[in-house]
Amino acid sequence: MSSGGFASQNGAGGSYTNGPSQNPVGVYPSNQSFMAPPLPGYMNSLPTKGPPPAGPSCYSGNRHQPSPVGTPGALPASPSHRMGPPQASATPPPPSSYSQHPQQPSSWSGVTPAPAGNHVSPAPYASGTSTPPVFQNTMQPPAALQHAPPALNVMAPHQPYGPPPAFGPPAAMRGTPPPPVPPPTAVPPPPLAPHSEAGLYLAQPAQMNRPTGSSYPSLQPAYHSPPAPAPQQQQHYPQPSVSAAQLSPSLAAMSLQSQPPEALRVVNLLQERSLLPAGAVTPPAPCLPQDLQKLNCSPEVFRCTLTSIPQTQSLLNKAKLPLGLLLHPFKDLSLPVVTSSNIVRCRSCRTYINPFVSFVDARRWKCNLCHRVNDVPEEFMYNPVSRSYGAPHKRPEVQNATIEFIAPSEYMLRPPQPAVYLFVLDVSHNAVETGYLDVVCQSLLDNLDSLPGDTRTKIGFITFDSTIHFYNLQEGLSQPQMLIVSDIDDVFLPTPDSLLVNLNECRELVQDLLASLPQMFSRTMETQSGLGPALQAAFKLLSPTGGRMSVFQTQLPTVGIGALKPREEPNQRAPAKDVQNLSPATDFYKKLALDCSGHHVAVDLFLLSAQYCDLSSLGCISRYSAGSVYFYPSYHKQHNPSQTERFQKDLKRYLTRKIGFEAVMRIRCTKGLSMHTFHGNFFVRSTDLLSLANVNPDAGFAVQMSIEENLLDLQVVSFQAALLYTSSKGERRIRVHTLCLPVVNSLSDIFAGADVQAITALLASMAVDRSVTASLGDARDALINAAIDTLASYRSSVLSVQQPGLLAPACLRLFPLYILALLKHKAFRTSAGTRLDERVFAMCQLKCQPLAYLMLMVHPSLYRVDNLSDEGALNVSDRTIPQPRALQLSVEKLNRDAAFLMDCGTVMYLWIGRNCNPVFLTQVLGVDSYAAVPLNMNQLPELDTAESSRIRALIDWLRERRPFHPVLHIIRDESPLKADFMQNMIEDLSESALSYYEFLLHLQQQICK
Ligand SMILES: [Zn+2]
């Protein structure tokens, strides 16, 4: 890796951010907010538009005081059919199921339950099995093919489409002269070798050489006038019914006509209070012709903050909206898999052929990113789905915006690595005291058979306190051998060949070790923690193969390299505009992470601690190696049973979920657009190549973009993310997602396509970077300015008739609410009592969570649940799931006669009103009075009543739809956790933050200045 890459995208000098320090110099006018500068480097600005000082004195009039709990008849919860956030696909259908059509976009449509059948989730290989069974129909004779499912509509979604059969085209086709092939390009094409996603496997550096099709000066842009095929060609090579080639000049007109008027409906936020939709907030659909939109990538996987792309950077600047992509690239989902010895890519920019290319004729296709015209290879003329020749546009690659290829050998420079898992466990006195070791060992014993992998899978263990303990698990030993290395200043591997062993061959020794490990240290008095040396040892062990390192840590590392000192001072918990120590204390963890990344080792960190652990330093080990961070504050097996439950459930998911090894992801976009800042856990190897030592299905990414060249001639632009990885079965695979969006030239079109959730998520990531590189206060100001600038721009540039009030287009009506929610989020709030590690963890979550889960953490959902009914309920796998309406997050909505469920993503609260209906108390909670509700209740009893089944069905369903386990706290007014519950009442005034109404008044005041 070059030091240049290191210093740019991965944080320059002392600042350890993946983000904005690519252009570290950049002082912008003081009132600039996040999206104003055309280039990154928005840090260092000192916004003048800050919020007014909090407190009752600043708004004497118009005070909006939350009414006390108990407003009678606050709001009847009218159940309605809800469309929820995406599912976590916990229950994959059996792999033999053929019921899910591979090309049916319905499974991605955002409507959770599949309309037909009982499949809750279409994911064929969610947890456990890391790759679907592969049906290799490579070069099979026709007879063999007869055994395959014959027709497209019954083909298994995950069954790879193979290459053409060896016998070649049918005789009739052989007689047909191929259509004229264009002369070879004047410029010699770049060699085919640099499959740029291959990353370290590159034979030569990837080039982003994007000639603009100059060798074909006579060709019109295909969007404008696709050449009509000759009659004979039409007979043999019918043009696709749906393709970018079909796009006519009327596209722009279409996009204007089909614009939903609702998106631009003017909303006066000061008057309209009920802004939440009855169901989930759904992403806007890009204004594309329906045929094209039908093929587009699912917004759950790939979406843009603006579903209509501005033609120029100056137009984007005027809108004051951030431009960026949000990705969930390795999400568990059902997708077509293609086996091909020749993956068709643009010879100039290496874009994979996709539904948005255009076919100039049957033998040539035009790249939608760089516009070069490429030949269609002979092999591509065969369609493995219909098993016919001559319809390249019907190939699965051209019919699916999300597709996976099984890569041929040129996509690897070494044999695909086996699945390798190394567990690094803290066994100091503090660690043993928490009781976490029993949970980890038991969970591993329970899930040993479900670890993704094959016969090559390897496993190993290291434990550490002030010394490092290795375990010889070599086949033939009668029991595991513990080897202690006490020289932590110069760590070495005592028996390098027997510490990582084949799981199949050494299973019994592994099981022995796991059964005895918790007892081995039960009497330890060793309080020191040498985490740094243990990590060094683990890196030495894993570096020859690559793999996954799972680190469990319960305290601040105290000895050896990487030792840390407490940096959280008690007075820092007081309300303060600025919080210190958000950046790491040492670069040890980052440097080691980069070494890991270079050797395909990802480090996942589980932090279980009651004390300050300096997550901002420790977290670097995962951040730059593309690992995950899990945090269980105040973990204790006995004292904190709900944390233990969450830890157990999370571990099960962690151990059994899909994993990709030695991965790289490249994101390409149409020429003219440029990506500049990435968010998530990875190492940026070159401008658009992210190195992911491991990739997991729960990781989200974001990228900021700018418009470098005007998109004047284009009606659509495309974005393509290609993720190359090694499956746990040792296959090299490439998952490709392509998103197509229209280009517009008016501000009202840009606003109409604004995706408020994606914008919020991108701003949140940007604000995390700003908190670290500048200050928390600066980040908060920038968030507020984002809302001010956007609404001011809308008011001055889009609204034709000026009216009083704080006005927003309907599509952005939730924007100020979400910004306020971010300001009150653990990551950015200024109130007392936020521990530094919890704040840093909240920031990590904002950068790495896929959008759907992130939004719940930012703006929880509140439902009334004491009167659930089956009206409007969903039916999923023979279960009836009630769908209560989401309520505003205000105590005004609470009612003492009722009970409410608040879903905050990683935690849920069931609040019981003091006068709650006795039927609910007996039928759901199993108690006969309010006073009998226990103060620390975490489970709903399984009572055989309709009320009990309804609410349990709802909670189970909400839990299934995410990859982590939210604990449930049943609380009443006297419960210690009531304050936490109330802190999520975002619309209400709090000790240190404005109410929603006050916040709106502040925005209005700034806009009308
Ligand atoms: Zn290209």
Q: pLDDT value at position 687?
A: 82
Q: How far is the CA of 716 from the centre of ligand 1 (A)?
A: 15
- Alpha-carbon distance of 125 to 107, in angstroms, equals 15
Q: pLDDT value at position 160?
A: 61
Q: What is the mean pLDDT of residues 829-841?
A: 89
- Alpha-carbon distance of 263 to 265, in angstroms, equals 6
Which residues fall within 8 angstroms of residue 904, CB to CB, at 6 or more apart? 856, 857, 860, 966, 984
Q: How far is the CA of 738 from the centre of ligand 1 (A)?
A: 13
Which residues fall within 8 angstroms of residue 290, CB to CB, at 6 or more apart? none
Q: What is the mean pLDDT of residues 709-719?
A: 95
- Alpha-carbon distance of 297 to 285, in angstroms, equals 11
Lowest mean pLDDT among 7-11, 193-197, 639-643, 939-943: 193-197
pLDDT tens digits along 299-349: 999 999 999 999 999 999 999 999 999 999 999 999 999 998 889 999 999
Q: pLDDT value at position 531?
A: 98
Q: How far is the CA of 789 from the centre of ligand 1 (A)?
A: 36
- Alpha-carbon distance of 974 to 816, in angstroms, equals 33
Lowest mean pLDDT among 161-165, 557-561, 648-652: 161-165
Q: How far is the CA of 369 from the centre of ligand 1 (A)?
A: 5
Q: Which helix (H) or strand (E) holds 434?
A: helix 429-434
Q: How far is the CA of 720 from the centre of ligand 1 (A)?
A: 11
3-class DSSP state of 982: helix
Q: What is the mean pLDDT of residues 385-389?
A: 82
Q: How far is the CA of 394 from the centre of ligand 1 (A)?
A: 20
Mean pLDDT of the chain: 79
Residue type, position 214, single letter: S
Percent of all residues in the chain with a pLDDT value above 70, rounded to a whole number? 73
Q: How far is the CA of 535 from the centre of ligand 1 (A)?
A: 42
Q: How far is the CA of 197 from the centre of ligand 1 (A)?
A: 15
pTM score over 0.75: yes
pLDDT tens digits along 431-458: 999 999 999 999 999 999 999 999 999 9
Q: pLDDT value at position 11?
A: 39
Q: How far is the CA of 719 from the centre of ligand 1 (A)?
A: 12
* Residue among 748, 774, 623 nearest 318 (CA): 748
Output the CA angle 947-949-954, nearest 5 degrees.
100
- Judge contact between 430 and 554, C-beta under 8 A: yes
- Judge contact between 415 and 729, C-beta under 8 A: no
Q: How far is the CA of 346 from the centre of ligand 1 (A)?
A: 5
Given pLDDT bands bounded at 50, 70 and 90, which one contains residue 32? very low
Q: How far is the CA of 402 from the centre of ligand 1 (A)?
A: 18
DSSP code string of 46-69: --S-PPPPSSGGG--SS--PPPPT
Q: How far is the CA of 221 from the centre of ligand 1 (A)?
A: 13
Q: pLDDT value at position 383?
A: 84
Q: How far is the CA of 736 from the centre of ligand 1 (A)?
A: 15
Q: How far is the CA of 351 from the centre of ligand 1 (A)?
A: 5
Instruction: Give the strand pairing for 402-406 and 337-339.
Output: parallel
Between 479 and 209, the higher pLDDT residue: 479
Instruction: Give the strand pairing for 501-502 and 481-485.
Output: unpaired
- Two tokens, residue 193: 């070798």
Q: Which residues is 111 bridged to in the sheet?
A: none
Cα–Cα distances in angstroms (integers) from residue 637 to residues 353, 513, 650, in the given order: 52, 21, 15
SS (H, E, C) 217-228: CCCCCCCCCCCC
Q: How far is the CA of 312 from the centre of ligand 1 (A)?
A: 21
Q: pLDDT value at position 468?
A: 97
Q: pLDDT value at position 926?
A: 95
Q: How far is the CA of 224 from the centre of ligand 1 (A)?
A: 18
Tell me the CB-side half-sphere exposure of residue 328, using CA atoms within 13 A: 24
Q: How far is the CA of 996 from the centre of ligand 1 (A)?
A: 48
Q: How far is the CA of 348 from the centre of ligand 1 (A)?
A: 5
Q: How far is the CA of 941 from the centre of ligand 1 (A)?
A: 59
Q: How far is the CA of 368 from the centre of ligand 1 (A)?
A: 7
Q: How far is the CA of 603 from the centre of ligand 1 (A)?
A: 35
Residue 297 has pLDDT above 70, yes or no: yes
Q: pLDDT value at position 494?
A: 94
Q: How far is the CA of 322 from the centre of ligand 1 (A)?
A: 26
- Judge contact between 810 and 264, C-beta under 8 A: yes
